[in-house]
Amino acid sequence: MTGPSVAVVGGGLSGLTAAYQLSRDLPGARITVLEASPAPGGCLDTVDFPSGPMELGAEAFIGRRPEAAELVAELGLADALQHPSGRSASILTGGRLVSMPAGTLMGLPSDASTLGEVLDPADVERAARETELPLDWEAGGDVSLGGLVAERFGPAVVTRLVDPMLGGVYAAPSRGLGLRQVVPGLALALDRGAPSLTAAAKELTAHRAPGPVFATLTGGYRVLVDTLATASGARIVTGARCTGLHREQGRYALDVAGANGRWTEVADLVVVAVPVPDAAPLLAATGGVDAAASSLAGIRTASSAVVALEVDRALDLPDRSGVLVATDEPVPFKAMTFTSRKWPHLDDRPGHLVRVSFGRLDDDEVLDSSDDTLTRMAVSGLADVCGSDPIVMHSRVRRWQNSLAEIGPGHDALIAEMRAGLAEGLPGVEVIGGATEGVGVPACIGSARAAARRLAAKWQD
Ligand SMILES: Cc1cc2nc3c(=O)[nH]c(=O)nc-3n(C[C@H](O)[C@H](O)[C@H](O)COP(=O)(O)OP(=O)(O)OC[C@H]3O[C@@H](n4cnc5c(N)ncnc54)[C@H](O)[C@@H]3O)c2cc1C
């Protein structure tokens, strides 16, 4: 039986996962993935250093969430799973590297007495008084994560602990992020009646599942991208930018621009899997889903850049997984990952592998620098952290435009409304990706699979 034709706009992890799931749930579907750039993968970008693969985008996923681990197993890649060494990150604050205090949850302390190395004594005292403050929490509610933490523990906990922890994942300060999306366990502990943030953090850290939190794959994310692309059986068209989406006689017409000109793809079902600044205008142009388009357009995004380095092993790299940077620290980078210290399977390279990350929401100044300048800043930051100049064996710079969304308070309700608007105004169209069910690899996989299942169920209805 011939199935529907499906167009997936965007060949990142979300688009490829949706294509794969649709191929399972709608056998016979003719699936086309339109990808604007020269290769699929989006923020998953493994490149070849002379010594082997190196990630320029995402480098890991949370293995304790089920979505990525299940997909990896389903694709037959479980044997390629790798876990970190267990070394922890340092925080760069006041010009010094200090250890991340024990018992923190996304930077939130469960015991203020551990904060002496990171905070001034007055700030430690203030954080310790958090348990004495009355907590005004409405079960099921949502608030600004950074706002709540600053109000209860004091702003130094935000600047020196929470924002450095979240900076690599969200690129947005925690004051713009919703507690429920970013630390769902904490929101649930408050819903259950925890009397303070300290108590909620203590409850969660005491019941942490044993074993490694993160995982990646031998060979890097390229393996996942290639396996998904093949398993989906989709026609993947690269260098193909979707510039318009219209409803035509119950089907959808997609305007596409490629190197060899423009054409139209016609599809019964459409998955839009591109960052919000690209998705919102596509929806707006269709007419009829103005509210959905404008709620997406209202989600702000941050750009970032990664400088990936391989440096001579003569450099005395700290025995840490990396460095998180307090947001009041006068350095241009926001984090460093000592990749070969963090991942034992990458520690057999001739040099140390290091990634230096730049870019925070509303602060694109440093990203306007040339690649050479970014590399110089990365190398000089590394020299400061290690106390001597590295000899660079290889380097690559990768910029990520508008790739990380600010998931604000009330995000879930906004997305539910957006989905309801789409179901009514553009039936058979789904919007997925990093700004819908949450930033990060597991969230994107979950979002894509759920959307594909909704489309399949609707088509078979
Ligand atoms: C530097 C960095 C590090 C990260 N590290 C981690 C990590 O370690 N762990 C983790 O879980 N998450 C991490 N993330 C987040 C994670 O990588 C993303 O949430 C996820 O990969 C997003 O996938 P996506 O498919 O939704 O979007 P994208 O990866 O952005 O893919 C969207 C694709 O759509 C294409 N596109 C855009 N517009 C159009 C158009 N009009 N027509 C056709 N194609 C179009 C783009 O070229 C792109 O390939 C990181 C992100 C970045 C930027």
Dihedral sign from CA coordinates of 202, 204, 209, 215: negative
Q: Which of 30-34, 63-67, 278-282 has the highest mean pLDDT?
A: 30-34
| Ligand 1 within 6 A of CB of 176 | no
- Lowest-confidence pick of 46-55, 285-294, 396-405: 285-294
Q: What is the mean pLDDT of residues 143-171?
A: 93
Dihedral sign from CA coordinates of 293, 294, 297, 298: negative
Go through the domains of the chain in sequence order and give each one's CATH number.
5-46+217-299+407-460 (3.50.50.60), 96-206 (1.10.3110.10), 302-403 (3.90.660.20)
pLDDT of residue 437: 87
Percent of the chain with pLDDT over 90: 84
Work out the pLDDT band at 53, boundaries 50, 70, 90.
Answer: very high
Neighbours of 366 (CB within 10 A): 17
pLDDT of residue 71: 98
Question: 69 φ, ψ to 5°?
Answer: -60, -40
| Ligand 1 within 6 A of CB of 60 | yes
> How does DSSP classify residue 1?
-
Q: What is the mean pLDDT of residues 345-357?
A: 97
Nearest Cα to 381, choosing from 319, 318, 304?
A: 318
Taking only the tens place, the pLDDT of each residue in 294-331 is 888 899 999 999 999 999 999 999 999 999 999 999 99
Nearest alpha carbon, ligand 1 atom 3: 58
The answer to whether 342 and 385 have CB atoms below 8 angstroms apart is no
- Lowest-confidence pick of 89-93, 107-111, 247-251: 247-251
pLDDT of residue 96: 94
Work out the pLDDT band at 1, boundaries 50, 70, 90.
Answer: low
Neighbours of 207 (CB within 10 A): 9
> How does DSSP classify residue 111?
-
Work out the pLDDT band at 286, boundaries 50, 70, 90.
Answer: confident
The answer to whether 407 and 181 have CB atoms below 8 angstroms apart is yes
Residue 215 clears pLDDT 70, i.e. is over it? yes
| Ligand 1 within 6 A of CB of 13 | yes
* Closest ligand 1 atom to Cα of 398: 1
For 235-277, give the DSSP string: EEEESEEEEEEEEETTEEEEEEEETTEEEEEEESEEEE-S-HH
Nearest alpha carbon, ligand 1 atom 48: 42
Residue 117 clears pLDDT 90, i.e. is over it? yes
| Ligand 1 within 6 A of CB of 36 | yes
Residues paired with 93 in a beta bridge: 96
pLDDT of residue 211: 80
Question: Residue 253 C-alpha to ligand 1 middle, in angstroms?
Answer: 24
Residue 287 clears pLDDT 90, i.e. is over it? no
Q: What is the mean pLDDT of residues 445-455?
A: 97
* Closest ligand 1 atom to Cα of 282: 41
pLDDT of residue 222: 98
Neighbours of 230 (CB within 10 A): 12
Report how far Cα 270 is from the mean position of its chain's Cα atoms. 23
- Residue of 21, 274, 404 with the most ligand 1 atoms within 8 Å of its CB, for mutation: 274
Question: Residue 88 C-alpha to ligand 1 middle, in angstroms?
Answer: 26
For 28-90, give the DSSP string: T-EEEEEESSSSTBTT--EEEETTEEEESS---EETTSHHHHHHHHHTT-GGGEE----PPEE
pLDDT of residue 131: 97
| Ligand 1 within 6 A of CB of 438 | no
More confident residue, 375 or 286: 375
pLDDT of residue 250: 87
Greatest Cα pair distance in the chain: 71
Dihedral sign from CA coordinates of 356, 362, 366, 369: positive
Question: Residue 1 C-alpha to ligand 1 middle, in angstroms?
Answer: 34
Helix (H, G, I), strand (E, B) or coil at 211: coil
The answer to whether 296 and 418 have CB atoms below 8 angstroms apart is yes
pLDDT of residue 419: 92
